[in-house]
Amino acid sequence: MALTDAAIRTAKPDKKTTRKFDSGGLYLEITPRGGKWWRLKYRFDGKEKRLSLGIYPEVPLAGHKDKKTGEWIDGAREKRDKARQLLANGIDPSEHRKAIKAARVERAENSFEAVAREWLTKYSPRWTSSHCQKNLRRLEYDVFPWLGGRPIAEVTAPELLTVLRRIENRGAGETAHRVRQICGQVLRYAVATGRAERDPSADLRGALAPVRATHLAAITDPMRIGELLRAIDGYQGYYVTRAALCLAPLVFVRPGELRTAEWAEINLDRAEWNIAAEKMKMRVPHLVPLSKQAVEILQGIQPLTGRGRYVFPSARSTTRPMSNNAILAALRPMGIPKDQMTGHGFRALARTVLDEVLGIRPDYIEHQLAHAVRDPLGRAYNRTSHLPERRAMMQQWADYLDKLKAGAKAVPLHRQVK
């Protein structure tokens, strides 16, 4: 006799597992602890098999509409009927379920987000931590909410363009272009690892509005450099920030390298600063010869911060380096607007004046800027290449800045010193 919902609700457990049969191979299995499991008994290829259909009351006897969502929820009988339809088509319901589960697992493992995170993990050792975090934030904020769950092999150019347009429409055109580049790298990685057939981002070239190239603001006129240095010299804020401001034009490293400088990297006796590869944009160790003026600045701050890890710790916690915006924020009260000078601008300042005014060999300058420089045979220079020449250049540069700060007559740009 077929089961009823009332009979199922009132069924009591026994000392042993008992079974109450419905029809078509469907039965309810009641364990000694009171658990009620739906099972389907069937035969396939001459063998008797069983399939679990869920637990009562989560799976009721008959299907019904959900009162809140209006969705149809299959009951045990509907699940039985679907399984028997598979049998009628020569498909084993148990193997069919395993195949669906495997497909779901594969879909999750090969989703855009899963592949993107795998790509980030693989390539992050080659990047600075800040670059890695920036890429991750862009994906988490602008891409994963819309494409993260999609199988990467099924992502189309129109889908990707919709995501990029959303970024573009909020006025972040440059970010949209960068996100397209990141997505392209992820998609090409998927192709290389066999998870996708092609990179649809290639179809979007020209689809986004072009972004006008802008250069990080820098003061490069020698007369104005003297004014800038005198303003820095008169800075009345946090002493650590003042020291960083004074050191920045002398070493012209990237802002992230300056703010995360550690005492363990600096040898004042040898007048050298050795920056580890993991901190560098190009992932290559970098050596910065220190001028006498740079050494004096570091000696001046050593009694204050020398017992800690960072040369320029945060004002809020000595266990963290100063913030990304500390230098930029310090320049503003001096009356130096952001369209004239940034923390990164000290690099452009040094590169321009060393070349066009002091007549230094460009390869010495580029090497000291930690740019990719190669010798005539195409080999990359190592960290100590041209060290004596670079040491002399850094001292010449520091002496020149002192003269500008003191108000000496500056040589105009585009006239090299003979």
Question: Known catalytic residues?
Answer: 254, 281, 344, 347, 371, 381
CB of 312 closer than 8 Å to CB of 259: yes
**Which is nearest to 181 in space by CA: 150, 126, 139?**
139
Positive or negative: CA dihedral 242, 246, 249, 252: negative
Residue 398 amino acid letter = A
Name the burial class of residue 302, with classes exposed (0-12), middle (13-18) and buried (19+) by CB atoms within 10 angstroms of its CB.
Answer: middle
Query: Which two tokens mark 342?
Result: 């940034």
What is the rounded distance in angstroms from the CA atom of residue 266 to the CA atom of residue 68?
Answer: 66
**Distance between CA atoms of residues 207 and 310, nearest Å:** 45
CA 152 vs CA 100, 201, 205: distances in Å? 18, 12, 20
Task: Report the C-alpha gap between 384 and 60 in whole angstroms.
Answer: 76
Task: Please give the Cα distance from 393 to 311 (Å, whole number).
Answer: 24
**Hey, which residues does 310 pair with through a beta bridge?**
262
